[in-house]
Amino acid sequence: MKEKTKKIDCGVIIGRFQINNLHDAHVDLIQTVCERHDRVIIFLGNSPVRNTINNPLDIRARKAMILEKFPHVEVYHINDHKSDDAWSKNLDVAIGELLLPMQTVTLYGSRDSFLKSYTGKFPTCQLESNTFISATEVRRKIINNHPPTADYRAGMIAATAARYPIAYQTVDIAVVSEDRKILLARKPDEKLFRFIGGFSDPRSNSLEIDARREVSEEASIEVSDIQYIGSTVIDDPRYRNEVDKIKTALFIAKYTFGKPEGADDVAEVGWFEIGLGLEKKIIEPIHHVLVDIFNEKFGGNRELQDRFFRKNVDGKMT
């Protein structure tokens, strides 16, 4: 029987492989390409955002995982790009730099892979797998059932060190009434009051929407004419010794309707006179920096107050 010989060309696979172990569909894909080609190159998709739910593993970890199972393949990476055309050109250049003279190449992917975004010059081939395994579902199970081992702890330490510092976005709202009063909130474990507010929801479309939601959740009222007046870092005790910080956007809003009542994580709410400016003695020290912004932009300026409450007039503050 005549012995079958492989084509002397190169098969290229592009994927993310964001999983703790190669699953059956991954193995089937790589094995199929290895059977078709003498040389196999894998490019790992690399996101500029580190340590996210969808991209938890770095290049080194994924490369080691692949080489453990397939030690003879070559593993490189390709950075994500906002433009599919630019990404395709970058990939073509990276592949071209690795090819030998006169060597041909075919790019392989599954139905839901990079193929639909690739606009480069090399031929592509879509491989159908009889096995469908969701990497998202695998990651979800790992999150809920991670092993409490030394390797796991070491991995968590390394992953945390590799990510960029985070500025957690919050909103605070100065809810004011036409009789020149401001609605403040008191937490159950505190004696002094603070501005109503909380963390921004990444699913919302704007900070103004977050502000409206927080007022409704914490004070059980509705507001209107939400306007941004400033921002600052908050010296939150939870992050005082961390590189991560809380950064808040302060808004002012008109009280519209509803009976103010403490809800969610607020023990009580109360109205306080603004006068010539909000007094810090009634405010939790963590929010003193917000008092300064409020007094500078609104509390100590009667003209701005009049303009803000004047009906049928553009009340935006400058």
pLDDT truncated to tens, each residue of the chain (318 aa)?
333 445 668 999 999 999 888 988 889 999 999 999 999 999 999 998 888 888 889 999 999 999 999 999 999 999 999 999 999 999 999 999 999 888 999 999 876 788 888 999 999 998 876 666 666 777 777 777 777 789 888 888 888 888 889 999 999 999 999 888 999 999 998 999 999 999 999 999 999 999 999 999 999 999 999 999 999 999 998 899 899 999 999 999 999 999 999 998 899 999 999 877 899 999 999 999 999 999 988 876 777 777 777 743 444 544
CATH homologous superfamily for 7-162? HUPs (3.40.50.620)
Residue/partner pairs of 192-196 with CB below 8 Å, 24 or more apart: 192/282, 192/283, 192/284, 193/270, 193/272, 193/282, 193/283, 193/284, 194/283, 194/284, 194/286, 194/287, 195/250, 195/287, 195/290, 195/294, 196/172, 196/266, 196/269
Per-domain boundaries in the chain: 7-162, 167-309
Fold of 167-309: Nucleoside Triphosphate Pyrophosphohydrolase (3.90.79)
Model pTM score: 0.73
